[in-house]
Chains A and B, each alone.
Chain A
């Protein structure tokens, strides 16, 4: 087995590369050296960045990259948690309908005027959180057969709830006039919001959600043996489940509120980590968070670069990469790694 620190080192290096890629590539290419000069002024003898480049970096690129970073981290972290929680390899915020539920909640709280007057952007994740939590509880209820949660019923219930929530979202969009574009961007999964404000609004929710998930690795490990054994090992299963569902839904809600409904990050990343580095949830969660951020940053760079100057919604790129992976996963007769 590889040493734990080496796994983190690899994940962090990938993340650094992804951040560099995301920040430097765009309609204007900014050399990495200039990026470093802006980040670390007066360090070494780096060429000073031109003021135009510095402005682009600080006002446009960095907040966008930060938003994508948080989104990927939140979705992959909650994806890993849902998979462990439901002991189901295909659980993913998108596939089980949580993301759509969060989207509905977010669009709803955007179309209602009064909360925004008091709380600004911070109100959106609250609506999304309520939508996400209700959806996940409903899907869980619908999909459960006795004491088990079969892959097929979970996906079917997720797809049904997802369709239902999306329909309601479309309905809300047609009814409200002002925020139509933003709501449409939601369905396509595009990090359409810009500037530092959404990053600031998203950060607290993401930190709380992911913080709880990061601390729950051991509990998730114990849960892998099933509810009865987990309880016989001293874990309060009901309370742990509820806490984890709330935390994962909070992280998903934060991501969906500001970046839209992006699928497959939460599915692919934990599986790649599991294949590479095993399934111990104490390292699976943090490595999935780092990996999800890297993956979405790369996908987002592709989305901005592929048809430049036109910017594709990152959700499209993610789906193009993720759907084949999903099908491959479905084809695996036995999901042995799980």
Chain B
């Protein structure tokens, strides 16, 4: 279980986030959402031990992560970064095997259990067929899966995903998140995922934490958090929340173009049944807004 208590993180002389508290239990996926620069990555860096925190606590099964060594942390928390440019010189198998680093000695000589863990991670992410390919020649979606497999090989109870779907197309987004969902439930992992796309958060996460203006603005199920009252101060006054046609979850629609610049034949806004001041979902938040 990951527990965060009145946490403040940031860079010297400037706190990016203040007084953050939430906890995520095993088998649960929490999505961190928020506009650009809201501090999603900062929070993830603090959890993974890259960024020291100034105040508060981050605990994994009651252990304060700041008091752990780099090696001990790496056995508890694995991170899937954004696949930007993986070094091209490794095969997929070698890259995944590097996930075993916290269990290897200085020489990095892998044993039988390490190979077994790497193989299993490849199987779980369905990329066994790529094992001997070089990472540099893979597509963005495949690279992201390699990084997920590497994190799985790390065999940690906590899995952090830093905007893993940013460079993926619609189908690969669903594939990746379904897989993450499956691993979360089947392996009983604590999963924290930073994601830009609110609808993906709504579809895949158990709960959502919305970061904005240096703090946690809302925390709860997608139904609780994705209300127009919650979203409009953060994402703009014309964000619409509608119900998903198939699942019982809210979907968030961004604002359209200004009337005079709209594509031909669409130069006006349809009057909605739901007036702007009556959100489709009722607000139920723990945070208060100060617009």
Contact = CB atoms under 8 A, between A and B. Distances in A.
Nearest to B102: A234
Nearest to B50: A228
B86 A225 contact: yes
Interface in A31-88: 87
Contacts of B45: 228
B237 interface: no
Interface in B131-160: 132, 136, 154
A21 B159 CA distance: 57
A279 interface: yes
Given A215-B106, A280-B94, A232 B48 contact: yes
A218 B89 contact: no
A219 B50 contact: no
B67 to A, nearest CB: 16
A112 interface: no
A233 B108 contact: no
A222 interface: yes
B89 A274 contact: yes
A138 interface: no
Given A274-B89, A280-B90, A338-B88, A234 B81 contact: no
**Size range of the chain A interface in the assembly:** 20 to 34
Interface in B79-121: 79, 81, 86-91, 94, 98-99, 101-102, 104, 106-109
Contacts, number: 80
A224 interface: yes
A189 interface: no
A185 interface: no
Interface string B58-79: 0000000000001101110111
A207 B236 CA distance: 64
B56 interface: no
Nearest to A223: B87
Nearest to A229: B81
A147 B285 CA distance: 38
Contact of A279 (B90, B107, B132, B154): B90
Given A224-B89, A231-B49, A337-B89, A219 B108 contact: yes
Contacts of A7: none
A232 B89 contact: no
Contact of B70 (A218, A224, A229, A234): A234
A336 interface: yes
A232 B88 contact: no
Nearest to B154: A233
Q: By CB atoms of chain B within 10 A, which of A1, A225, A280, A282 has the most?
A: A225
Contacts of A234: 70-71, 73-75, 101-102
A83 to B, nearest CB: 11
Q: By CB atoms of chain A within 10 A, which of B102, B104, B106, B108 has the most?
A: B108
Contacts of A229: 79, 81
A217 interface: yes
**Size range of the chain B interface in the assembly:** 20 to 34
Contacts of B77: 232
Contact of B89 (A216, A217, A235, A338): A338
Contacts of B78: 232
Contacts of A280: 89-90, 94
A284 to B, nearest CB: 9
A183 B282 CA distance: 82
A229 B101 CA distance: 11
A218 B88 CA distance: 16
A236 B50 CA distance: 11
A278 interface: yes
Given A221-B98, A338-B89, A231 B70 contact: yes
Given A231-B50, A234-B74, A235-B70, A218 B108 contact: yes
A222 B108 CA distance: 10
Contacts of B87: 87, 224-225, 279, 338
Q: By CB atoms of chain A within 10 A, which of B74, B75, B91, B104 has the most?
A: B74
Contacts of B50: 228, 231-232
Given A228-B50, A233-B99, A278 B79 contact: no
B20 to A, nearest CB: 20
Contacts of A1: 91, 132
B98 A222 contact: yes
B70 A336 contact: no
B98 A233 contact: yes
A225 to B, nearest CB: 6
A101 to B, nearest CB: 28
A218 B106 contact: yes
Given A221-B98, A279-B89, A232 B74 contact: yes
Contacts of B106: 215-216, 218-219
Nearest to A284: B89
A2 to B, nearest CB: 13
28 contacts: A87-B87, A217-B107, A218-B104, A218-B107, A219-B106, A221-B94, A221-B108, A224-B89, A225-B86, A228-B50, A231-B50, A232-B50, A232-B74, A232-B77, A232-B78, A232-B81, A233-B101, A234-B70, A234-B71, A234-B75, A234-B101, A274-B89, A279-B87, A279-B88, A280-B90, A280-B94, A336-B88, A336-B136
Complex A-B, nearest 8 residue pairs according to Cβ-Cβ distance, in ascending order: A218-B108, A279-B89, A234-B74, A234-B102, A224-B87, A233-B101, A232-B79, A234-B71
